[in-house]
Amino acid sequence: MYQNILFEVEDHIAIVTINRPEKLNALNAQTMLELRDVFVKIKNDDEIYAVIVTGAGEKAFVAGADISELNKLDAVSGREFAERGQEIFNLIENLGKPVIAAVNGYALGGGSELAWACHFRIASENAVFGQPEIDLGIIPGYGGTQRLTRLVGKTRAMELILTGRRFTAKEAYEMGAVNKVVPQSELLKEAKELAKTLASKPQIAIRMAIKAVNMAYETNLSDGLHLEATLFGICCGTEDFKEGTSAFLEKRKPVFKNK
């Protein structure tokens, strides 16, 4: 179906693999179009509960954008280029289903930005992150200035974006930018175990929780609490809520139907 990505679904878990290993999985225009298409399909598929995003091969998750395409941009097309990428990464962040970045190797520029847009990040020990756009005379355009700052704070983000320096998986973990660091041989296994756990949860509550947490950075506390109460109320009207509370009281394992 796709030229530059692989897509498979098993046990309600989708795996999206960016498949340009000869180009270190760089995000060219075709790959971005395919990412948008596959995530729209995932969003609309009620049988997919969790997603893993990774890169083909052992060298790179995504080693940035395609520089040969960047080189052709001007002020107008540059803004359009950034907005198209932001739309796709916003789709991932607001998918309503948990997305796990399994970061193997280099995650630079747009690769880091793709990881920041995911809800979870598990990195291999050899993973390397960075926002090196400054050395090309530009800034991150796919959300890096906003999401990295929210993840690690203004002080660290300012340093990383203005210097463009690369940082290791261990540093990323210590900053709070990744959830876990594992040997490369265990990366996909760890991601699948997390996805399996998330897929076993009541999916309406998962969707409401993602929406509430995402909104925490977009609004003030009062409006955030109002949203939380509204979403809590929606959950209380579901069959899964009745099943979860009944199972707890009856000391049995709940059987959720995502209704």
φ, ψ at 98 (rounded to 5°): -65, 130
CA Rg value for the chain: 19
Q: Whose CA is closest to 140, among 116, 168, 169? A: 116
Asked whether residue 190 is domain-assigned, the answer is yes
The pLDDT score that the predictor gives to residue 171 is 97
Other Cβ atoms less than 10 A from the Cβ of 70: the count is 18
Domains held by the chain: number? 2
Cβ atoms of 114 and 55 closer than 8 Å: no
Asked whether residue 256 is domain-assigned, the answer is no
Please say which residue of 199, 222, 240 terminates a domain.
199
Asked whether residue 148 is domain-assigned, the answer is yes
Three-state SS across the chain?
Answer: CCCCEEEEEECCEEEEEECCHHHCCCECHHHHHHHHHHHHHHHHCCCCCEEEEEECCCCEEECCECHHHHCCCCHHHHHHHHHHHHHHHHHHHCCCCCEEEEECCEEECHHHHHHHHCCEEEEECCCEEECHHHHHCCCCCCCHHHHHHHHHCHHHHHHHHHHCCEEEHHHHHHHCCCCEEECHHHHHHHHHHHHHHHHCCCHHHHHHHHHHHHHCCCCCHHHHHHHHHHHHHHHHCCHHHHHHHHHHHCCCCCCCCCC
Give every residue of the chain whose pLDDT is below 50, as ranges. Answer: none
If you count them, how many residues does the chain have?
259
Rounded distance between C-alpha atoms, residue 6 and residue 68, angstroms: 23
The pLDDT score that the predictor gives to residue 169 is 97
Please say which residue of 162, 180, 199 terminates a domain.
199
- Specify the CATH number for the domain of residue 116: 3.90.226.10
Q: What does the pLDDT look like over 8-29, one tens digit per residue?
A: 999 999 999 999 999 999 999 9
Q: Do 79 and 191 belong to one domain?
A: yes
Q: Give the range of the structural domain holding residue 211, as residue numbers without chain letter.
A: 201-250
Other Cβ atoms less than 10 A from the Cβ of 231: the count is 18
Q: Do 233 and 155 belong to one domain?
A: no
Q: Do 12 and 86 belong to one domain?
A: yes
Active site residues: 113, 133
Q: Whose CA is closest to 54, among 2, 120, 146, 1? A: 120
Asked whether residue 257 is domain-assigned, the answer is no
Asked whether residue 212 is domain-assigned, the answer is yes
Q: Do 193 and 137 belong to one domain?
A: yes
Asked whether residue 99 is domain-assigned, the answer is yes
The pLDDT score that the predictor gives to residue 1 is 82
Q: What does the pLDDT look like over 118-164, one tens digit per residue?
A: 999 999 999 999 999 999 999 999 999 999 999 999 999 999 999 99
Q: Do 62 and 109 belong to one domain?
A: yes
Rounded distance between C-alpha atoms, residue 40 and residue 21, angstroms: 24
- Specify the CATH number for the domain of residue 239: 1.10.12
Q: Do 48 and 82 belong to one domain?
A: yes
Q: Which two tokens stand for residue 140?
A: 């991150």
pTM of the model: 0.94
Asked whether residue 37 is domain-assigned, the answer is yes
